[in-house]
Structure 1
Amino acid sequence: MPVVLIKARRFEDDRGWFTETYNQRAFHDLGVDVSFCQDNHSLSRPVGTLRGLHFQTPPHAQAKLVRCIRGSIWDVAVDVRKGSPTYGEWTAATLSAENGHQLFVPAGFLHGFVTLEPDTEVTYKVSDFYAPECDGGIAWNDPDLALPWPLPEGGPSLSPKDGKLPRLAEFDSPFPYDGRPLTPVSAS
């Protein structure tokens, strides 16, 4: 399954706008054929709050459908599927309350984001329940990934857990390659 940037159509009038944020049939047509079972919601107060790079391993691997409902984020997905020709490569998009875009991140990809505005709220659907024994991550600043995080001058605000994650070189991926290499998402 690919990483997909979803640009929902908004119907606007003088009162505001309406949009569908999830439609199983429409998402299936985009190649997103996943059943979601849990919704998560985060608030990040300071600009530069970095959450990631996270994953959940099988048998509780999670696909995610991420959207920003207040403020904005730089959202990134990194391919960590064993045997993938794009292993360690990434794609990213800016998600904001203003643009209404969503990023679908399949299982087998690291996921992370950094906030670009204060008091940013992010919601995301996941395809499996949280399983602490399967929870993991890779260092946000791994030089082998060289992610160009758009950080404030003082650097990121991190959780203690995210500040201690290992490098990708230390990770033995349990995620199988599905035959579809990572393709960059189109921001336009």
Structure 2
Amino acid sequence: MENTNQLNPNESLKIISRVINQTRENIKDQSFYFLWWGWIITIAAFGHYFLTVFSDTDNSHIPWIILIPIGWVGSIVYSIKKEKEKSYQTYFELFLKYLWIVLGISFMISVFISLSLDVQPAIFVLLLAGIGTLVSGLTMKFKPLIIGGLLFFIFAIGSLFVNQTTVLLLNAIAIVTGYLIPAYFLKNSK
């Protein structure tokens, strides 16, 4: 019995073109997380820095305590909304989702361990951000994210050579160059 459901070449090309365009849109959707977390962390780092340098408070870390939970809630709400809009998830999307969930847990554990040992957590956070950003960039084949991931590694090493207050400034600059700038390129990519 012959299969009458064969696609002609034009139909095949339309399907392939639609899948390619959908993959491009899915990649652009990933820019939300880099932009969201980029701004959250940049504001927290600058806030911590300014409170440390220009105030007498012992709670200069308060921007982190306020903004990180907001970041988690925003990410979860956005993720749930996006999953409801689509009837499927690609392996690519699942991989990135699980990568960043594991890294998010790793961020929390590394901060807890660093604070317990009285060590600056920014160094380890930059290293983990570099891993996630570089792997995401390599997976997406997107050079600005690859460069951003490499910059995180450079900033992590550079953090070893400055005082704890300056590390906060370095952290904010690393986030701007490693997350925000590549994310805006990603968001506006064709």
Normalising by structure 2, report the TM-score.
0.28
Normalising by structure 1, report the TM-score.
0.29
Determine which structure has more spread, i.e. the larger CA radius of gyration: 2
Richer in strand (by share): 1
